[in-house]
Structure 1
Amino acid sequence: MLAVAFDGKVFSSNLPSLPGVYRMLNAVGEVIYVGKAIDLKKRVSSYFQKSNLSPRIQLMVSQIAGIETTVTRSEAEALLLENNLIKSLAPRYNILFRDDKSYPYLMLSQHTYPRLAFYRGALDNQHQYFGPFPNTGVVRESIHLLQKVFRLRTCEDSVFNHRTRPCLLYQIKRCSGPCVHLISPEEYHKDTKSASLFLQGKQNEVLKDIAEKMQAASDRMDYEQAAMFRDQMQALRKIQEKQFVESGKALDADVIACASLQDGIERFCVNLVMIRGGRHLGDKSFFPQNVQGYKIADVLEAFIAQHYLNRHVPSLIIIGEKIRLDILQPLLSEQAGRKITIVLNPVGERRVWLNMATENARLALQQMLLRQASQEERLQALQQALNLPNLSRIECFDISHTMGEATVASCVVYDNFSLRNNEYRRYNITDIAPGDDYGAMRQVLLRRYSKIAEEEGKLPDLILIDGGKGQVSAAQEILIELGLNDIPFVGVAKGEGRKPGLEQLIFPSTEKPLKLPADHAGLHLIQQIRDEAHRFAIQGHRARRNKSRTLSSLEQIAGIGAKRRQSLLGRFGGLKGVLSASIEELQQAEGISRALAEKIYRELH
């Protein structure tokens, strides 16, 4: 515990006049602000000597109970460290951009027959990556288009290596059948190269190459092949018309715009438009936290520093506000290993892109405020209906199983007017009687809140239980045992015919359930959270059940051990493939004799 009395003037007078990072801490040791400085002594002392500080800074300074500093070699290095600390510590007075998920990429693997695939994670030098893309939908759409034009494989290696006949994608002309050698490695490589050039924005080279192939096929009177190349060219031209930016130049650029609106407090939205290889991949909106008292230029600087930290940086960044280029541009160039240009005052078509991004940011901010207003209305209505003093964070639990098989419990979190899917959790329920929903509820609540009872997490303002009186009683037992019985909790029992709007709210302390009107805003919020918990539980249950059934159905066949089971699943791409295989196909798997193949077929059918 830090002492509250803190003399900032004395502390700052002993600091060195060197670049570095400072961390301001409150009385309980929490980091409330992280900053960088080219001169630590001068920068930190300014907080305790100036009288014209903004209200936000005055409030922050009043809470300082200690300061920690780290000296760096340069201001650029300080900026890097500052943003690493902001991302990891999330101080309450720094601008924060919540973007925990890595961006999706499109990958071309380095195989004899390269695979076209969706990829998310750390990049390496083994494969070829294209992106990043703003969302998964754009990646999957791109894969679909490339399949249609270049017919590249998308199947996993475990399936590809064990195919004995072409799959459905070959039949519908979305794959050239490399798994059964219906195309030579040389011809397949040409298609892979064309796809790579297309993704790099060199679409004219691709069209020229296909045109030459079409002419050659026509000259040798192979009109079917020529027609295929013609269809490829038409498909590519349609894509080109739809997806390429006006200039048609194969450039990589990010266009970043920021908009702000006042609704009692000032709110900001940053819109990021991604252009890769001349293709407009779409945009993504970000809503920063802790922005009161900041200007648009401050928000943009924070976004650029945080967003591109340890992430791919395009060669060109276009923004419309004056920011400090002397630090950001060299830092991004050093990180990327090539020159990065930040354009502050674009003209021509680049100005059009920026204006579009600004309008997108403004519209996204308006939509967010409308959604939040609706959520605030729902939350307030529920708070009044349940007579709760405070209501912000809600946690909801649901149990899913099939006749007691593969029981999974879900916990979804609603906080600050939205569902927080990064805080969702699933729990595999074990050591209970099959179908014992009450035991499952006791187990999940015990596992969820035993750590929180030891002060290792946030307590909700309300717990929702999907179920009736029995589930509520089970929940009450555990919360009393953990000393958390002061947390309000409610059971949500389905109404007659399980129809929405007929739900009853079950309380542990009263016999009579509460039935809210079907159009009640608070009931709509309960339904939203309950349905999300149900969806999340079912999704987890199905995955666990399918995995269990895949293994158990083969495990029950005498003579099928782990090695043969793995051989069968690998060759046929899973249990579904094994079920559809004939006796002759089963016999071709490693370690499977004719007699055993007949036995497997008999047992599975």
Structure 2
Amino acid sequence: MSSEVLPAPGTPADDGLCASVPEPAFDPAREVRTLPHLPGCYRYFAKDGSCLYVGKARDLKNRVSSYFRRTGLSPRIALLVAKIARLETTVTRSEAEALLLENNLIKTLHPRYNIRLRDDASYPYIRIGGEEFPRLSYYRGGVDRKSRFFGPYPSSSAARTAIEMLQKAFLLRTCEESGFKNRQRPCLLGQIGRCSAPCCGRISVEDYRADCRRAEDFLLGHSREVLDELEKRMWAASEAWEFEEAAKLRDRIASLTQMRHQQAIETTGGDIDADIAAAAVRDGAAAINLAMVRGGRHLGDRAIFPKIGTREDGAFPSKGELIEAFVSQHYADLPIPALLIIEPDPEDPELPKRLSELLSELAHRRVPVVTEPQETRRRWLEMCVQGAEIALMRHLQEEGTQLARLKELIEILGPGFEPPSGDPMDFSAECFDISHTQGEATQASCVVFREGRMQSSLYRRFNITGVEPGDDYGAMKQALERRYAPVARGEAELPSLVLIDGGKGQVEMAREVFAEYGLDPSVIVGVAKGEGRKTGLETLVFPLIDGERREPLTLGLMSKALMLTAEIRDEAHRFAITGMRAKRAKARNASKLEDFEGIGPKRRAKLLSHFGGMKQLKNASAEDIAQVPGISRALASKIYAQLHLCSR
């Protein structure tokens, strides 16, 4: 449901014979009268059309009317209300649906007064999955039912450390399927006793699956039971004089014990899954620290820094507001734990109840939210609160350095490069680079800098086609045309700065593209390498505008602005090189089979899938190649001959 501004009572309708009637001023009383007593979302807009605030409510009428009371409003809410020029509402079936809709609207509308998380990274899991011999692996992405997933973990290092410990303790394989299916002798891990080498038949399916079950039990929090079982097996092997087997079990017990100590704090409640959230606010910045407990083991924490905006009245959101915003946005796309422990907010005693109802409806089960935990859980919360304070202090130091770099860069470039909001942290930049190997596998990269950091999720690569090998100007032109054509159509925004890795020639090419699309070329700046390509000797080159060209700038080794520019340029260079190398390797491997007589797309895919890659295929004999379905002995001999002819 969307509430529209209606003509004031007694205003004549526009019948086309007179001038259009100007839109009446925003009337809160009239708007509130039309709202239902139903759950939903509401949006406040300013006169210029920008979104001020997005909120959710169990009862739209009661919630919206609370903003327009004559007394009792906080300074922040009063400031917000004074700027409202339009109201829109959407009715939902439940408050949980309103929660999800609010999260989506915050991401798309970017309201000034909302708390917005700047955390778009997915969380890692530990995956155990496969057919006969399941594989232990690190995983990011959506979960499925074919494998078992454990997590999420707060960081990739925590997940990888757990995998390393589990491999030592249970000797599970971590190799890729392609390598596992085509291995004839143990890999290095199998040779040093870190893997039970199921690829070579050193362990039966039943024994391997028993190890997988123990690993899963350990991850689920049944560590004491797993250790007791291993200890019994160790003593039984010792009594049977099987001392080598007893020593192996002893080493497993030691590895698991070490893992428990590294991931303790153990609970007395067993296999509980819980999240702990605490917030810190200082000097206009905020941090939310999320600690994760899975299977009774504390896996570590992760700090998230939401964008809380600048308050003109000097007031900042309370810790309760921060935690509520975090919960509503964070758990919209992630599994909900059995228990949530949060820092209490004396100003909002209803917060735990409200969050519990929302999470319970989303999870379709009861999810308690606790603010006064006892014993071990209290220690978790105390650690989380301390972690939030430490993370915020470190963030303020880093952000202060980055802010100083941004301010100096904007000052050096000139007033035309300032963001419309006036906040240096809203400055955005995109940087382009071209990479190839003597004209082969040409790729262009575009990296994005926003909100004071590199935004890897917004990076783009462009496969360059139809240009002469080694024509960097033509490659740059194609990349810029493909990137900024949507901007010319009004489908995307132009960044504050467009950096080009190159000198006057590259900058002039970029200017021609911008002129063709009717875009402002003044945002273009080239980064020309200095003598010997040494960092610190770069020169900033500007385009020709209205027949005049600004003098090049050499910033010097100690320039903060140059440090930031070099950081963005180097990231574009790294991103371009990695993409080019991957494309080159793929092209070289594929071309060898594509040119072979009698090998079409299906047979090529079967060969690469069976052997796991060109390297393994080269090392295979004609008899091995003939084992691939659809490959006869005669064709296998031809493939073998052509492979070794190509390698000469």
TM-score where L is the length of structure 1: 0.93
- Contact 1:396–1:529 (Cα < 8 Å) also in 2: yes
Partner in structure 2 of residue 532 of structure 1: 571
1:363 aligns with 2:406: no
1:115–1:155 CA contact under 8 A, matched in 2: yes
1:276 aligns with 2:294: yes
Structure 1 letter corresponding to 2:452: F
Instruction: Give the stretch that moved more between structures: 595-604 or 537-546.
Output: 595-604
- State the one-letter code of the partner of 2:291: V
RMSD: 2.5
Give yes or no for contact 2:266–2:298 (8 Å, CA) kept in 1.
no
List per-residue Cα deviations over 1:104-163 (Å, max 9, x = no partner). Answer: 111111522112122222223332110011122222222222222212122333433343
Q: 2:285–2:396: 8 Å Cα contact kept in structure 1?
A: no
Whether the 8 Å CA contact 2:464–2:479 is kept in 1: the answer is yes
Instruction: Give the structure 1 partner of residue 354 of structure 2.
Output: 327
Q: Within 2, Cα distance between the matches of 1:599 and 1:220?
A: 57
2:228 is matched with 208
Q: 1:302 aligns with which of 300, 307, 325?
A: 325
1:603 aligns with 2:646: yes
- Give the C-alpha shift of residue 26 in structure 1: 4.1
How far apart are residue 298 of structure 1 and its match?
1.1
| One-letter amino acid matched to 2:402 | Q
- Counterpart check, 1:288 vs 2:306: yes
Q: Distance in 1 between matches of 2:92 and 2:601?
A: 55
**2:493 aligned partner, one-letter code:** K
Alignment deviations for residues 192-232 of structure 1 (CA, whole Å, 9 cap, x no partner): 01110111121111112222322333344333222221211
Q: Which residue of 1 aligns with 2:282?
A: 261
Q: Is the 8 A contact 1:461 1:487 kept in 2?
A: no
SS where residue 183 of structure 1 aligns?
A: coil
Name the residue aligned to 1:186: 206
Q: Distance between the aligned counterparts of 1:548 and 1:172, measured in 2?
A: 36
Q: Report whether the alignment pairs 1:567 with 2:602.
A: no
Shift of 1:59: 4.1
Following the alignment from structure 2 to structure 1, what is the Cα–Cα distance between the partners of residues 621 and 93?
68
The change in CA–CA distance for 1:502 and 1:84 in structure 2 (over 3 A counts) is closer
Q: Which amino acid aligns with 2:150?
A: F
Kindly provide the CA deviation profile for residues 13-50 of structure 1, in whole angstroms up to 9, marking residues without a partner as x: 12223333222334565543222233322332333343
The answer (yes or no) to whether the contact 1:163–1:571 under 8 Å persists in 2 is no
The one-letter code sitting in structure 2 at the alignment partner of 1:213 is R
**What SS class does the counterpart of residue 216 from structure 1 fall into?**
helix
State yes or no: 1:109 paired with 2:148.
Answer: no
Q: Alignment partner for residue 343 of structure 1, among 370, 386, 410?
A: 370
Q: Residue by residue, what CA displacement relative to the aligned partner does 1:427-453 show, whole Å, maximum 9, x if unpaired?
A: 111111111100011111111111112
Number of the residue aligned with 1:400: 435
Q: Which stretch shows the higher mean deviation, 360-369 or 288-297? A: 288-297
Contact 1:75–1:327 (CA under 8 A) maintained in structure 2: no
1:562-604 deviation digits (Å, cap 9, x = unpaired): 2332232112211232234455544544416352324323423
AA matched with 2:319: I
Residue identity opposite 1:434 in structure 2: P
For the pair 1:17 / 2:60, whether they are aligned, the reply is no
- Does the CA-based 8 Å contact 1:393-1:462 persist in structure 2? yes
Give me the whole-angstrom Cα distance separating, in 2, the residues matched to 1:452 and 1:306: 29
Letter in 1 for 2:219: L
Q: Which amino acid aligns with 1:188?
A: Y
Alignment-derived partner of residue 431 in structure 1: 466
Q: Secondary structure at the match of 1:487?
A: helix
Describe the shift of the 1:450–1:348 C-alpha distance in structure 2 as closer, same or farther (beyond 3 A): same
Deviation at 1:235, TM superposition (A): 1.3
- Contact 1:407–1:429 (Cα < 8 Å) also in 2: yes
Structure 1: which 5+ runs fail to align? none
Note if 1:156 corresponds to 2:176.
Answer: yes
Q: List 4+ stretches of structure 1 deviating above 6 A.
A: none
Question: Equivalent residues in 2 for 1:372-383 (5 A)?
Answer: 372-383=399-410
Task: Pick the aligned partner of 1:314 from 313, 325, 337.
Answer: 337
Name the SS for the 2:522 alignment partner.
coil
What is the CA-CA distance between 1:261 and the residue it aligns to? 0.8
Q: Aligned-pair distance for 1:331?
A: 2.7
Deviations 1:519-539 (A, max 9, x none): 111111111110111111112
Could you tell me which amino acid in structure 1 is paired with residue 341 of structure 2?
I
Q: How many angstroms does 1:422 deviate by?
A: 2.4
**Does 301-310 or 70-79 show the bigger shift?**
70-79
Which residue, 224, 229, 237 being the options, matches 2:244? 224
Q: Do the aligned partners of 1:557 and 1:603 also contact (CA within 8 Å) in 2?
A: no
The answer as to whether partners of 2:45 and 2:53 remain within 8 angstroms in 1 is yes
Q: Corresponding residue for 2:525?
A: 490
How many correspondences in the alignment? 602
One of 272, 284, 297 as aligned partner of 1:251: 272
Matches of 1:91 and 1:511, distance apart in 2: 37
**Would you say the 8 A contact 1:87–1:306 is kept in 2?**
no
Q: TM-score, normalised by structure 2?
A: 0.87
